[in-house]
Structures are given as structure tokens and as C-alpha cells.
Structure 1
Amino acid sequence: MVSTVNVPKTMRALVLLEKGSAAVKEHPVPEVGDDDILVKTVAVAQNPTDWKFVDSGRGNPGSVIGCDWSGHVVRVGKNVSTPKVGDHVAGFVMGSTFPDSGAYAEYVKTPAELAWVVPQGTLTHEETATFGCAFWTAAQALYHPKRLGLVEPPAKVTDEEWLYIHGGASAVGQFAIQLAALSGYRVVTTASPKNHELVKSLGASEVFDYRDSEVVSKIKAVTRDSIRVAFDTISLQESQSISAAVIAPTGGKVMHILAVIPEATARKDVVREYTIIYSALGRAYTYATGQHASAVPEDRAQIVEFLKKVPGLVKDGQIKPLPIKLWEGGLDSIPAGLQYMKEGKVSAEKIVYRI
């Protein structure tokens, strides 16, 4: 038995048809398991991974696209005590992979423990939808004991310690700056000059232009060459090179969000790894290309514990949503938004749609 309101059998969803092709069509509303909730989506947000799954051939035909969502609970499984039907909740799912999971739809299913309840009177659905892939990635990279393992709020680091974040104006970067500052770290970051004030307003102590030929020496000077950990939110060869170069002579660790490029640095004293947030969902998956990933229970456990803190951080105003570019037209307009992002036109803001 589930607690529920009236829910149709089918819904409109943006479905992956084949490599490079997607369309809005009628799709089955996901069945709710004993530990799941079903959410009527109100707003969804866009990430680079959304268009990349469509174009790369990794996505599975017949699956629903999209990761970031905000909405109201309309059905709960028999083991679920919270959230309740009617609650405003938000979360993250793996799009373009499963027929019964994906954000770009009128309904989305998720395990209850992977959703967080938005405190009344705090954020709109559009704002809350930005707390998905980028937010979770920042929390995993910074706080998971097998990633950077930093001090997690409400605790704070006791001594002055610098953290380098490459790409401070990216979606992941903006959340990482806020979280690191809450943890008491001094953040030095890079961004285009037009975004310097934005990243400072989020808690960065110092910011430099990543295009500056002297960026590494300037970062080392302002931090007294003391950086032991870095988070590269861009993870192309240049950013991987800079992120390794700013680490102190005693060595340290860099966490990337894309695969490590070995030739980006010759340093052997810097541990370089990458994090994939899909592991936090605790569900095995297989790409259309045949690559398989097993479930990682410890990654899910880490994000579940972190999500318990999020309502309090939001209620106290300690975490701000990303700047929003509201894209009109709902589900039918998402392909145009994906193309816009693919063309590199998104900067320091999150595209959000109302469903």
C-alpha cells in the first residue's frame, strides 16, 4: 500500500529515442517501490551531462532525460515516513539511463532518502531545482572521506587552510565555494573577470583570471604556497594542469569531475582522482555503450547523511541557489536549451524550466 493522490498512468516526458535524438512523448509514470516517493515536478534544471548523454551514445534509448528536479510529493511507498504527500522536495536522479528515472518529465521517482524537504518560505521551485547535480557533486568531492575528506559543516577547520577551486563561477564551483567557506576554509578560485564579484559574494577570499599567464605564481603568492587540496570543476587539460601546479611543494591531492588526463602534469607528489556523482544514487547502471558501473553503497550513505543537513542550511540562508536563466516553453523547449548549452553559451547561471 502507498499513500497517494490521483496520479495518471502516463505522463509527458523527454525521452531519448536514439543517439543524438530525443522527443517529448507519452511515457509510463514510474511505479513506486516501498522506499520510494513519486513527485509531481514543478521545475527542472539543466546540466552539461544532459546533452552529452544524448549526443555521445552513452544514453539508453527509451530512458527519460534530465537529472535535477523540484516538485511536490504525490505518492509515497509503505516504508516512507518522510517526506509526506504534499511536501515540497528536491533532488537528483540519473537521466538518460533508466525508463523509470529521469527529471524531464511530469513525474519523477526517487528513493525517499535521496530527496530533501524544502523549508516553507525559503526557495522557489526554480531556485530549488538548481540544487541537483552540481550541488551533490560539490558535496561528494569535498566531504566524502575517499575524495578530499574536508571538514564538513557545521564543523569548521580550526587553522587557516587554503583550498583551490578551479572554475569558481561554474555551477559546481559556486556551490563548492559556499560549502568550503561554511567549513571555514579560505578559498582561492579562478573565474572570468566578469564573474569575480559573484564568486567573492559566495565566499571566495581571492579570485584570479584563469587566462592570466601568471595565474599559478599569483595563487602561490597569495596562499604562501600552502595549498594541499584542490577541486577542479572544469577538468579539461588546462584546468587539470593549473590545479596540479598550485599544490604546495610538499604535495597534495586534486579532485576532478572528469577523467584524469595523465599528460596534464608531470608531478608525482600530487594525487589526482575524479568523482562521478551517479555513484551517490546507490544504483548499478549500464551505458548504451556497454560500460557498467556497480552500486556503491558507501557513496549513497555519504550523500544521504549530507542531505539531512541541507534543509537547515537553506532555512538559515547559509547556501544560496545558483543564478537562474528561466527558459520559457516547458518540456517542449528543453531540446533548444540543450543546444544552447552545447554551443557554450551558458556562463555563471543555471537554465531552469517550469514543467
Structure 2
Amino acid sequence: MNDLRYLINFNSEEIETEYHDVIIIGSGIAGVYTALEIPEEFDVAIVTKETIDISNSVLAQGGIAVSLDKEDSPELHFKDTIVAGAGLCDEESVWVLVKEAASNIECICKYGVNFDKKGDDLALTREGAHSKNRIIHAGDTTGKEVCDKLIAEVKTRKNVVIKERVFAIDLITENNECKGILVYDEDTSAFKLYLSNFVICATGGFGQIYTNTTNPEVATGDGISLAYRAGAELMDMEFIQFHPTVLYHPENKTFLISEAVRGEGAMLLNNKGQRFMPDYHELRELAPRDIVSRAIFAEMTKTDSTNVYLDISFKDKEYLENRFPNILKTCLSYGIDITKDTIPVSPAEHYCMGGYGRMYSEGLI
């Protein structure tokens, strides 16, 4: 095809072609979980430009919000989410989120995901903008635990093939219908066509366009771009969430210091050692992320500094070793002992809240 819409010219009659019932672009939690939920009579291909274990999902630390406590409810979760979204949330989507959360958590637990427990129940902690303890977690590597178990499960599925180091270049469309994708196979150095009646984009965000981001190198926005070229309407792209507390160290400005640390009582201090969040919001360190990020920027400006500090050192050492083992280990590698020292932090790009709106091409999900 010689179409200005496509990034490269190709001849569909000469290029190597294969067919799958469903093609999923992206191998984070969204992509892999979708593959597991598709009936096994369908042939599914997961296309990922790196190996399947590299994604933004793997880096998630804090946990997953779900209203499980007897004093909590989906209605309260909905209310908190709307407040945190400053009235800009799509309420229909929020209702789906809060009402289906429990059943989805039950499902991924059946796949072997081991969340921390308190007795026989899932342990619950709190993060910013939540009025109740509703964050379930697996230490401070929740994303990795979920990804590891879902990937292990999907590898057992005979109907799922995983295409690693295969870069999705463009969605192929004809008469406003999505027919598949054009890819580049890095291992064979060849362009190929994967045809399908259903193509699911689960490609993540574009954090790498920012100087400081928590996102891995694969988060470059190419998935959003190929959907746009195929006729997708994008929406809310300006809604970029900055995480307030990312390690600020000469050798690492991308490592996330989970919001769960503040959920367990950590305080933010400016370079004069003064706690400042009570001056900005009644929820203090657990205000919504955008408010905490702006407060930190304001303090950095006031004090002419590059960062602020997070202090959790008043907690018992054994507790911190058990609750935040990865954060403790990583900080120690940079000479910071969180059981004794404050942690230098500053905001960094974290999450793309917008993305796909309506899809004009039939067959594109």
C-alpha cells in the first residue's frame, strides 16, 4: 500500500501474513488480563515491542483501590474519586470502576496473585484522596506480583501466542474497518501483517516525552499515535498526572516512592525541615496527587530548592523492612537509610489520564 496515512509503504500481497481471531497490542496488566478473559476457543495474539515482562504495570508499587471494608462501599469510593477528579471524571466510567473492582480482584486472586493479608482478609491501607482504607497491596511491588502471576497464567493458555520484540507500526484499515496491524519483527528483521476482526489497543502512555518520569523506556506513546492515524478520536490528553514523591538523587530521578509510604504516615518536609502540607490541604500528605504535587512545587520555589523530603524514619525498622522492602533496598543502594534518613523527593510525570475516546474504525477496541 502506498497511502500517506501509513508510516511506511508496503505491498500487502508480498508481505508475510498471519491471522488471529483477536490481536492485543500491549502486555501490561490490561493486555494480559484481557487475553485471560477471552474464551479459549478464540485464537489470541499478544503483541509487545519488548519482552512480555517489561511494562509500566510492573513498576506499580502502592496497590489497587477496592471497597472491601465493612465500613466502606462502592458509593463512598465513587464519591472520593469524583472529588479527587475535581468534577472532571466521566461518572459512568467511575461507576464501572468502583462497582466491578471487587469481582475483578477476586478473579485475579484466582490466578494466584498473593496480596498481603491481615488474618484471613486482604490487608487494607490508605492512599491520597481516599476517605477509607481500601488499598490492597503486595508489599511495595504490587504491580510486579500481579503481572508475574497473570503472565504465568497466560503462558499456559494454548489459545494465546505471545509475540515479543514485535513493534506495532500501524493499524490496517479498509472502508473504515480495522483489519489488523502492520508490525516489525525485531528478531527476524522483517515487516509482517497480522490480520484480525478484533484489535485491542492496550499500549499505555507516553511518559518518555517528559524529562523526569516514572515510566519505563517503552512508554513512548506510539500506540496512541497509531490509533489516531487509524481514525480514533483522542480525548483528555492534557490530563497528565504527576506523582508527588519520586526519588531525587543525582543517579536516579525515576524511582517511585509509593504513595503508600504517606498512607502509612510519612510526612513531607521542606529543606528547612518544616512540615508544609497542613498549610495546603486538610488531608495534608494524603490530599489528591495534583494538590500535593503543586504544594511541593510551591515549597521548592519558596525555598529555592530542587526537592523536598519524605520522612518515615519514625516507624519501626522491622515494620519498614516488611512493608517497603523494595523501597528500603533501593534507597540504601543510593546511601539513604529510610529507617534513619529522610528521602529526597520531587514530582515527576507518572500517568496519562486521557487517551482513546471514540473509535471510528469498526473492529478497533
**TM-score per shorter chain, which class?**
under 0.3
TM-score of the superposed pair, with normalisation by structure 2: 0.24
**Whose radius of gyration is greater, 1 or 2?**
2
For normalisation by structure 1, the TM-score amounts to: 0.24
